[in-house]
Chain A
Amino acid sequence: MSVRRKKGVAPYLVLGGLIFMALVWLFPMYIAFINSFKPEKEFIQNGVLSLPHHWDFSKFGKFWGEVDFTKKLMNSAQVSICVAIIGVFLSFLTAYAIGIGRVKGRIWILGFFMVAFTIPQEALIYPLYSVSKTLNLYDNIWSIIIIFGVMSTGFGTYLLSSVMSTFPDELLEAARVDGASPWRILRSIVLPLLRPTLFVLATMFFIFTWNEFLIPLVMLPSNNNQTVTLAMAVTTGQYTSDPTARAAAALIGFMPSVIFFLIFQRTLMRGITLGAVK
């Protein structure tokens, strides 16, 4: 039996205020939504706030076809999935040496990865650009897969080694006494127990990479190699004359992230809070 406490008005005021704020926060998405279905004539006549009278579905297909959005989706998916795999793989191995192996100098190794977190991408971009040209990796989707896969290792190592350092010592000691090698401990104890955390990390890498912007902008000039995010920055400029087409483009552009987010919301939130405070 729960005791019902008197609520008073205050909670309702708070509720009203916060819901109002949430609606304000969602408002830009709502504006993109109604205008993407609005025929251009209606937009010119009735302005930005009115609901469409005729729901015009044609702009989505037009934008999709013109920028070959299927291709961009495939590019983004390929980059994000490969980065998630490479990033988790490298982070896991490095964090294993630090968190479970407790190797000497682990503080320095972590510090090295952490300092790299403060270096802005602008301080890396020109060397990456010019070296990738000499290596013939320029305008090749694998260049950004390698770059992001390796760069993710900084955050991934930090997060996983802090999780692994909380691992029960008795379990590891028992395995060592039984003569288990590091490889054996990794495979039969650490990996199975850490699988959910690795999945959280992979989800974070996926969505971070999906939204990456500066490095693809520099490294992938040709239309065929663009990611969704990059296409949003580059091609929508062509639609300035038709604002409702831009709205449709925005809607198509953020749908994949929003759908992905709603599916993996809990996983992602766990990762974000895990990363902030161990």
Chain B
Amino acid sequence: MSSRVQQTRQYYWYAVPGITAFAALVGGSFAYNIYLSFNNWQGIGTPEWVGLANYQELFHDRVFWISFLHAFEFIFAMSLIPTALGLMIAALIYDFISKHFGNAISTFLRISLYVPQIIALPVVGILWAWMLSPNVGVINTILRKMGLSNLALNWLGQSSTAMFALSIMMIWIQVGYTIVIFISGMSRLDPYLDEAAQLDGATWFERFRIVTIPQLYPEISVVLLTTTVAALKVFGPVYVMTNGGPGDATQVPAYFSYFHFFSTLKVGYGASIATVLALLLTVLAIGLLKFQRKMGLLR
């Protein structure tokens, strides 16, 4: 018994390098960021302690609230719609394509839909500039050819459509991730349940809703959690497509803090935005996990 305890102690040494490095780099940086949020600083000289002034300013900053509103709107394009679409497509691929047409076609479908996930965002930005460009872009060219010239809008250039255009791009990026997770989840499901429902005369959609989805709750909850966190953190797509504009039409918290760090040089203010975002995400993630556990959705 005592030798087991002794041995357990020996194992601590293996965690030391990882924990130390992580605590210093991630923990240290975050602590420093919180400290900066209580200061006014331009990046050079000595920071000036101002207490909660930055947070008070945030509270009255219209753009700050708008940026969070947008981040929550992106939950639709990055989390909810890709999850629903991914479930549907994964089930179709698993039930119809693999069974009737073989693995080659289902692999082709999976890879094609997953490719946007592995392309770096700046490249995605170039590709979608081609799609959305008002004069020479693909979407408007097709609309004009169909005689729908009045629908050929300046998608990213006007506030009324910029969020919508970005959302379409994000659905294109995200769907592959959800499909891959759900297909792998389906391979562990119990085929007898599905067959029993089939014998009872249930249609495909009924079986999908009543048999497949409940069995996939663990996967669904993981996907919803990770993609919701990703949506609230979103930076790259906004950086490469719109820089938060036009005006503040696509401003999000992550970009807003970056903007204050490196453009206005209001470092303390940027740090306070980043701190609020980090705390919100942590509370939300813990809350979601607790909720899912309470509902019995997680094992």
B165 to chain A, nearest CB (A): 13
Contact indicator B92/A150 (Cβ below 8 Å): no
Comparing A53-61, A102-110, A192-200, the segment that makes contact with chain B is A102-110
A97 touches B11 (CB 8 A): yes
CB of B118 within 8 A of CB of A128, answer no
Residues B181 and A272 in contact, CB atoms below 8 Å apart: yes
A196 to B269, CA, bound (A): 46
B97 and A126 form a contact (CB under 8 A): no
How many residue-residue contacts, CB under 8 A, span A and B? 288
Q: Distance in Å from the Cβ of B32 to the closest Cβ of chain A?
A: 4
Contacts of B22 in A (CB 8 A): 90, 112-113, 116, 150-151, 153-154
Q: Which residues B254-291 have CB closer than 8 A to chain A?
A: 254, 257-258, 261-262, 267, 270-271, 273-275, 277-278, 281-282, 284-285
Bitwise interface map of B from 155 to 193 toward A, beta carbon under 8 Å scored 1, else 0: 000000000000000001001110011001100000000
User: In the bound complex, how far is the Cα of B15 from the Cα of A191, in angstroms?
Assistant: 16
Residues of A within 8 A of B126 (CB): 32, 232, 236, 246-247, 249-250, 253
Q: Which residue of B lies closest to A217 (CB)?
A: B239
* Complex Cα gap A101–B235 (Å): 39
Binary flags per residue of A228-255, CB closer than 8 Å to B gives 1, else 0:
1110110010000001001101100110
Residues of B within 8 A of A150 (CB): 21-22, 25-26
Q: Which of B8, B21, B222 contacts A101 (CB 8 A)?
A: B8
Are the CB atoms of B11 and A122 closer together than 8 Å?
Answer: no
B-chain residues with CB within 8 Å of residue A47 when the two chains form the complex:
136, 141
Asked if B80 is an interface residue, CB under 8 A from chain A, the answer is no
Encode contact with A along B1-38: 1 for CB under 8 Å, 0 otherwise: 00010011011111101110111011111101100100
Known A-B contacts A90-B18, A120-B274, A120-B278; A127 and B28 likewise in contact (beta carbons under 8 Å): yes
Complex-state Cα separation, A128 to B219, whole angstroms: 34
CB of B241, distance to nearest CB on chain A (Å): 11
A-B contact pairs, 26 of them (CB 8 A): A15-B97, A18-B89, A22-B112, A25-B116, A29-B115, A93-B17, A94-B14, A97-B15, A101-B8, A101-B15, A102-B11, A120-B233, A120-B278, A122-B270, A123-B29, A123-B274, A126-B33, A127-B28, A146-B25, A150-B21, A211-B118, A214-B236, A218-B262, A233-B121, A250-B127, A272-B177
Which residues in B have some Cβ–Cβ distance to A below 8 Å? 4, 7-8, 10-15, 17-19, 21-23, 25-30, 32-33, 36, 43, 89, 92-93, 96-97, 99-101, 105, 108-109, 111-113, 115-116, 118-123, 125-131, 136-138, 141-142, 172, 175-177, 180-181, 184-185, 204, 218-219, 222-223, 226, 229, 233, 235-236, 239-240, 253-254, 257-258, 261-262, 267, 270-271, 273-275, 277-278, 281-282, 284-285
